[in-house]
Amino acid sequence: MVVIATNLLWARINTTIPGSLVGLVLATAIASSFHLNVPTIGTIPQSLPMPQGIPHWNDFNVIRELINPALALAALGSIESLLSAVVADGMTVSEKHNSDRELIGQGLANMIVPFFGGIPATGAIARTAVNVRSGGKTRLSGVIHGVALGIIVLTLAPLAAQIPLAALAGILMVVSLRMVEWEAIGLLMRATYSDFAVMILTWLVTILFDLVLAVEVGLIAAGALFIKRMSDLSLVKIPETEVFPPGIPLELGKEIAVYRVDGPVFFGAAERFATFLRDEPEVKYLILRLRFVPNMDTTGLVALEDIYHDLERHNCRLILTGLQPEVKQLLERTGLLKTIGLSNCFETTTEAICSISPQIACSQPVAADLKTKKLMELNN
């Protein structure tokens, strides 16, 4: 309680000296002066570790037994350090971290430390947050942290051994509360319940188990949510008044259906993409506007091919308009573009409709295509 109160109130008195350090010294002084029976850090060695020698690598069974835990430690250590770096980025406006530099530096250190009897080290979210909240702004703060620890080990170890563990808990409580981004939580609650549910799930796993498991569960949940969102393919039938040029015969208009596809066509949307378009028995010309489809995966290609063959069996012609370069290259590589036919691919819907019947007057583009061209010009 002393450390928490000092952390919260010290900033009103002095902003140069970190409140967490003042609270730590004050709590240690109170515990030592009144001889309070509280758990402390305990004995700290007053010397730097010396080289322990080279391990023996002649036993292949030992290497095979250790390789899996080594890879697991490397992966978990990398995740922990990058999470710490992201937390620091969110708490400061200074230069953002470089992931490659962070992981290379950590990897080199963890390759050298074992020869001195050490264990793998990672960046820690709690210590990183304390560092930033205490005024650390550059990588030099991490260097100062290491030098200070070395000085404490060599000269102040007896005093540091008397620090109560409850004092460290007080610092972590204040830091954890200050790390909570209340505005972001409010935004999540007001925006989408699914994102808020992922956050609550991650939080519960962190509390009940540990941070690493929480990150894994959170990533899986977020990935499943992403797939669900991407599979919600927007498929809209465009009214005849928006796409048909003037003078089109009524009979021909009934045989043409135009659909706009929004979003990527991939495996999550393949089934809906296929079944939705097959529910038009009277249509003889099916036009798909793919201008807003940025990419397509293998299952999407298979779905598109199934649609083509299914429509072909019903004497219905499939026409594609507005193909993006990436999608068009993919169709060419797989041979599907040749199967559908270049004669069935057009830049605009108006050109596609005009190709169906040469008697249609197509001198003026329709309003929908004009809007599309204006949008493309603005984007360019």
pLDDT tens sequence across 177-224: 887 878 778 877 877 788 889 989 999 998 999 877 888 899 899 888
**Token representation of residue 80:** 């922990």
Kindly write down the DSSP assignment for every residue of 291-325, as one continuous string: EE---B-HHHHHHHHHHHHHHHHTT-EEEEES--H
Please write down the long-range contacts of 362-366, taking CB distance under 8 Å and 24 or more positions apart. 362/245, 364/245, 364/246, 366/242, 366/243, 366/244, 366/245
Q: What is the mean pLDDT of the chain?
A: 82
**Token representation of residue 274:** 């296929």
Cα angle 128, 4, 214 (rounded to 5 degrees) comes to 45
Q: What is the pLDDT of residues 347-363, one digit of tens each?
A: 988 888 888 876 665 64
Cα angle 245, 273, 196 (rounded to 5 degrees) comes to 115
DSSP 8-class letter at 235 = E
CATH 3.30.750.24, applies to 234-379: yes
Q: Which residues contact 93 (CB under 8 A, 6 or more apart)?
A: none
The model's confidence at residue 346, banded by pLDDT at 50, 70 and 90, is very high
Q: Which residues pair with 260 in a beta bridge?
A: 236, 289
pTM over 0.95: no
Burial (CB count <10 Å: 0-12, 13-18, 19+), residue 272: middle
CA separation for the pair 337, 329 (Å, rounded): 9
Q: What is the pLDDT of residues 96-109, one digit of tens each?
A: 888 999 999 999 99
For residue 127, CA distances in Å to 39, 119, 226 come to 21, 18, 32
Burial (CB count <10 Å: 0-12, 13-18, 19+), residue 12: exposed
pLDDT attached to residue 161:
92
CA separation for the pair 374, 380 (Å, rounded): 10
Statement: residue 374 has pLDDT above 60: no
pLDDT attached to residue 220:
92
- Is residue 298 within 8 Å of 328, Cβ to Cβ? no
Per DSSP bridges, beta strands 256-262 and 234-237 are antiparallel
pLDDT attached to residue 40:
94
Across 276-304, average pLDDT: 79
> How many helices (H) does the chain have, and how many strands (E)?
19, 5
**Token representation of residue 11:** 């900033």
Q: How many CB atoms lie within 10 A of CB 40?
A: 17
Q: How many CB atoms lie within 10 A of CB 216?
A: 14
CA separation for the pair 97, 117 (Å, rounded): 29
pLDDT attached to residue 190:
79
Q: Where are the domains of the chain?
A: 2-178, 181-231, 234-379
CA separation for the pair 217, 14 (Å, rounded): 42
pLDDT attached to residue 359:
60
> Which SS3 state, helix, strand or coil, does residue 365 take?
coil
Across 331-348, average pLDDT: 90
